[in-house]
Structure formats: structure tokens, C-alpha cells
Structure 1
């Protein structure tokens, strides 16, 4: 069972020093999800359809989180742990996923248009995603090969 929290409350509690929001369902309540959430723990959290353009999720633990139909355009997910995330329909246009771990994530109509995928790890996934204009530098692809180029 997920515990519910509104974005405003999460922002306030994060600002007060709390970092563990594992298992929460985050609801907008009319608020936008923005700002710097470096190091936050959102393991098994649900953020379905959240608008998080430009959010900072550096070094964030998002393992097994549900991010279906989320907008993460221009987000900073440097070194984020996204293993096992449900990313169906998510948008990562021009996002920075340098060093992100995406092993075992679920992709279906996921959009990485222009995203920086330097050192990202897609090992073992079925990558049903748009990778147009994405930046690849030492990116580990689903078959284990290393890719360095742009599409």
C-alpha cells in the first residue's frame, strides 16, 4: 500500500532535511514538481503523469519507481538509480542521464530526444524508445555493447 503525499509537503519535508520518501504516491495537488531533490530516496514511489521539467534528481534512488507518462524534459538525473523503473510513455527530452543506471527498466514509447546518455547503463532491457539526437558516450546498450555516437 502506497502512502500519499502532495508535492508541496514533500518539498517542505525535503527542505527540512528528510530524504526518505520510499513507497510514497506523490500527487500534484495543483503544484508543479520542481527544484533540487539531489539524493532523495524515491524507491518504489509512484509519480504517474507528474510534470517535472527541469527537476534536479542527481544521485537519486528511483529503483522500481513508477514514472508512467511523466515529463522529465531537461531534468538532471546524473548518476540516478532507475533500475526496474516503469518508464512507459515518459519524456526525457534534453535530459541529462549521465551515469544513470537503467537496468531492468520498462520502456514503451519512452522519449530520449536529445538526452545526454553518457555512461548510462541500459543492460538487459528491451529498449522501445525514441533515441533521436541522443548523446552516446560509453553508453552500455541492452546487448552489452558500448556505444559512442549520436543518432
Structure 2
């Protein structure tokens, strides 16, 4: 269950205090699953190892956020801004990232299995060692992205959706 005081810090946009709390409690992994954080300014927030599964972060500004090894399974990040975000090792399986702005994001070693990246901007993103099996990449901008042909071949087309 999400800690309501921590959620309130985020909803108030008090990222500085949130990040201080994270430094004061380095061994804790915040439980923010199913939390509604859509449309918030979360620039530079420390979500490393946080549980955000099923959370709504659509249209949120997560530029320069640190989300390494975070659980984002089934999360809604549609139209979110994740430019220069650090997501190394994060689990984004089944995540909605439709039209997300992820330019220059570090997505290395992430799990993007069955994620919806249709029309996402991945310009310059690092997808080295990312699992992309079943991901939807139709219309995604992959210019200058670090991604292998094998990773692209393992994705699905929007036409494959029943």
C-alpha cells in the first residue's frame, strides 16, 4: 500500500524533499503501486527500486528522473516526458508508453516485453540489452537509438493486435 505522506510530497511537487527522504532511507523501496501521479512535474525524482506497478504517470514530466531497477509493470506512461531519464534495469513490461518522449533516455537492460511504444520518441535512447519481445514500436522515432536489428525483429506491429 502506498505511503500517503510520500505520495502527498510528490503531488505537491516537493521533489527536493522526496529526494532527501530517499537519501535518508537508502534501503527502502517506496510502494507507489496503483498510485495516480498523472500530469505531475517529477523532474529529477529518485524512483530507484520503487514499486510503481500499475501507477498512472501519464503526461507527467520525468525528465532526468532516476528509475533504475524500478518496477513499472503495467504502468501508464502515455505522453509522459522521460528525456534523459535513467531506467537501467527497470521492468516496463506491459507498460503503456504511447507517444512518450524518451529521447536520450537510458533504457539499457530494461524489460520492455509487450510494452506499447507506438509513436514514442526514442531518439538517442540507449536500449542496449533491453528485452523488446512483443513490444509495439509502430511510428516510434528510433533515430540514433542504440538498438540491435534483433531487438527490432522481436517486436510486434500494431497490425498484430487482435
| Aligned CA distance change for structure 1 residues 5 and 33 (closer, same or farther; 3 Å) | farther
Correspondences of 1:83-102 after superposition (within 5 Å): 83-102=88-107
Aligned to 2:111: 106
Q: Distance in 1 between matches of 2:147 and 2:15?
A: 39
* Shift of residue 17, structure 1, vs aligned partner: 2.8
Contact residue 72 and residue 91 of structure 2 kept, 8 A: yes
* Matches of 1:10 and 1:39, distance apart in 2: 12
Q: Which stretches in structure 2 are left out of the alignment for 5+ residues?
A: 23-27, 152-156, 158-162
More strand by share: 1
2-structure distance, mates of 1:81, 1:16: 16
- Go from structure 1 to structure 2 and tell me whether the alpha carbon gap of 1:138 and 1:144 turns closer, same or farther (over 3 Å shift): farther
Q: Cα distance 1:18–1:9, how it changes in 2: closer, same or farther (>3 A)?
A: closer
Partner of 2:3: 5
Aligned to 1:18: 17
3-state SS of paired residue (1:18): helix
Q: CA deviation at 1:125?
A: 1.9
Structure 1 counterpart of 2:128, from 109, 116, 123: 123
Q: How far did residue 126 of structure 1 move?
A: 2.3
Conserved? CA contact 1:126–1:142, under 8 Å: no
Deviation digits for residues 75-105 of structure 1 (CA, Å, limit 9, x no counterpart):
0000000100011100100000000001111
- Structure 1: which 5+ residue stretches go unaligned? 146-150
Greater helix share, structure number: 2
How many pairs does the alignment contain? 142
